[in-house]
Amino acid sequence: MATHEVHELLGMVRSCLWRARFIAAIRKAMWASAALMLLAVAVHMAARRVPIEAVLLLMSGLWAVLVLRAAWHRPTVAGCALWADRHLGGASAFTTVLELRGAAPGHASESARQWLENWVAARLPESLRLLAERKESMRLSRPLLSMLVCAALATVVLALPDTAPVSRQQALALPPSGIGDTSASATQAPTPDKLVGEIASALRSAQSHDAPERRDTGHANATQGGKAAVDKDPAATQSAPRPTGEGVGVAASPSGSAAEPALASGSAQAAGGGRIAGDGRDERSAPGMSRALQGTIAVTRSAARTASAPAEMQADMTQLATYRDDFAPPVAAVAHSSSEVAAATPPPATESTRLTPTEASYVQAWMKASARRR
């Protein structure tokens, strides 16, 4: 009879199943430990300080429960026989043998029972060989690695001081930060918005350093007249009014404003004259301001300046009308036009508008220097 051999096989199967059950419990405990440590880290970061001792205590309890549960549920003989039938080529023989041993003597044909016993006895060596060759993969590497990574993370994070509640209290207690509020910003980490603001202010300051130079350039253009502007910026000459040709005086020439790239927008600029060319700051690259807004601001400034401009500056607009071929002024206006035409001519240079030799040499030197720089 193969009774002894069958029990031996089932005992080996039981130890194999029990070991597999322990490994599964350990695997489950590792995953649970990793999850527990991640949870502790999250709580520590978000809500409150979590002591390491509490985490260790919880993990110990978890491991104890899982391992004891695996130890408590011992594989049954029927379960071992079923496993042997499935995995060791038993073909339902081991379970049938066990059932027949627990059944009444006349339950089955004696010859069939004997044939079954013989079949099992013949099958046992092969089943034992299969059991010995069976290599169950433990599959512990991933949970172990996860647990180690989570343990390292938890060790680092839980060892940190409890900063989350303080920062939250500060965030609740502090008013909205304004300009010059450096006390709160000194303790807080710079936010991206803040960084952007700082960068923008740094850029503005850099532009403001460049601004006097541009003002000087504009002023030089204005003082040099339309010739200098035409030489430097041919595109600006296309938009400049044609009547301002060679030798046009400084005060009456609108080409200085047309040559200014920041304010090249129509007759309002022409009305602004060279005064605007060197005065306005180029804010096209300023963050947070759209082009449309810039144009609006420029027009507004031009309009304001037009409104407050002196009478001789207003005469330029009238002068533009004299160049229209189809223009027919009214009779009343024709009587008055002689004085207006005289006023439209460039004013004669006076001593006050002419540059002194020192100033002229300074301007020429500056122009040469700027030309070399470009």
Partner 1 sequence: MDEGKRATPMTADPAGEGDFADAHRRLQDLRERLDHIIVGQDELVTHLITAVFAAGHVLIEGLPGLGKTQLAKALAAALGLQWARVQCTPDLLPADVTGAEIYLSASGGASSFEFRPGPVFAQLVLVDEINRATPRTQAALLEAMQERQVTHAGTTHPLPSPFCVLATQNPIELEGTYPLPEAQLDRFMFKLTVPFPARESLRKMLDVSLDAEPADTLQRLAGPADVLRITRLCRTVLLGERCKEAAVDLVVATQPNGTGANVDDRRHIRYGASPRALQALVRAARVRALMAGRAHVDVDDLGAVALPVLRHRVLLRLESELDGLDVESTLASIIGAWRRRL
Residue closer to partner 1, measured from CB, 96 or 127: 96
Which residues have a Cβ under 8 Å from the Cβ of 44 and sit 6 or more positions away? 50, 157, 158, 160, 162, 164
CA distance 60 to 154: 16
CA distance 272 to 298: 10
Residue closer to partner 1, measured from CB, 96 or 237: 96
Residue closer to partner 1, measured from CB, 99 or 283: 99
Residue closer to partner 1, measured from CB, 42 or 91: 91
Q: Residue holding tokens 């009547």?
A: 243
Residue closer to partner 1, measured from CB, 54 or 103: 103
Residue closer to partner 1, measured from CB, 92 or 300: 92
Q: At its nearest, how many Å lie between partner 1 and the CB of residue 128?
A: 19
Q: At its nearest, how many Å lie between partner 1 and the CB of residue 127?
A: 14
244, 227 in Cβ contact below 8 A? no
Residue closer to partner 1, measured from CB, 91 or 371: 91
Residue closer to partner 1, measured from CB, 111 or 141: 111
Q: At its nearest, how many Å lie between partner 1 and the CB of residue 169?
A: 55
Neighbour tally for 276: CB within 10 Å:
23
CA distance 183 to 177: 9
The two tokens of residue 174 are 């502090």
CA distance 31 to 144: 8
Q: Rule CB under 8 A: which residues touch partner 1? A: 82, 85-86, 91-93, 95-96, 99-100, 106-116, 118-119
The CA distances from residue 196 to 32, 203, 223, in Å, are 43, 10, 39
The CA distances from residue 194 to 87, 182, 200, 283, in Å, are 67, 12, 10, 21
Q: At its nearest, how many Å lie between partner 1 and the CB of residue 84?
A: 12
CA distance 143 to 279: 71
Q: At its nearest, how many Å lie between partner 1 and the CB of residue 5?
A: 17
Q: At its nearest, how many Å lie between partner 1 and the CB of residue 133?
A: 22
Q: At its nearest, how many Å lie between partner 1 and the CB of residue 97?
A: 8
164, 47 in Cβ contact below 8 A? yes
Q: At its nearest, how many Å lie between partner 1 and the CB of residue 47?
A: 44
Q: At its nearest, how many Å lie between partner 1 and the CB of residue 101?
A: 12
Residue closer to partner 1, measured from CB, 110 or 193: 110
Q: At its nearest, how many Å lie between partner 1 and the CB of residue 16?
A: 20
Residue closer to partner 1, measured from CB, 52 or 98: 98
Q: 328: buried, middle or exposed (CB in 10 Å: 19+, 13-18, 0-12)?
A: exposed
44, 156 in Cβ contact below 8 A? no
Q: 100: buried, middle or exposed (CB in 10 Å: 19+, 13-18, 0-12)?
A: middle
The two tokens of residue 242 are 């044609």
67, 32 in Cβ contact below 8 A? no
